[in-house]
């Protein structure tokens, strides 16, 4: 089972967002950090199932400290990373 790095971003008042740098479009949210991480594991599973169904190979996971892709760092408003974690899809 692959684990992908996920970036947590704290919202102003809306909880947390989670994005997977190696999987553009795979995002999740939650009111608390824990809820965001649980939801992210489910989003990751669904995203990987979609890739598999479309015959698209899974991207290789990267280390937590690997540079972030430009699509994530060049956004406006500025990205506000609070934490990097490794998440595996739900079984």
What domains are defined for the chain?
4-87 (3.30.160.250)
CB-based contacts of 22, cutoff 8 Å, min separation 6: 4, 5, 59, 60, 61, 62
pTM for the full predicted model: 0.84
Mean pLDDT of 1-6: 84
Residue 30: C-alpha distances to residues 46, 87, 88 (Å): 17, 15, 17
Q: What is the token pair recorded at 59? A: 């991207």
Alpha-carbon distance of 17 to 83, in angstroms, equals 11
The pLDDT of residue 73 is above 80: no
At 46-66, the pLDDT tens digits run: 999 999 999 999 999 999 889
């Amino acid at each position: 089972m692959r684990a992908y790095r996920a970036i947590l971003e704290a919202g102003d008042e809306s909880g947390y967002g989670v994005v997977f740098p190696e999987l553009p479009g795979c995002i999740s949210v939650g009111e608390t950090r824990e809820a965001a991480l649980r939801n992210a594991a489910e989003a990751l599973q669904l995203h990987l199932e979609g890739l598999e169904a479309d015959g698209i190979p899974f991207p290789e996971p990267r280390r937590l400290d690997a540079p972030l892709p430009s699509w994530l760092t060049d956004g406006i408003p500025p990205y506000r990373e609070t934490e990097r974690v490794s998440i595996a899809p739900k079984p």
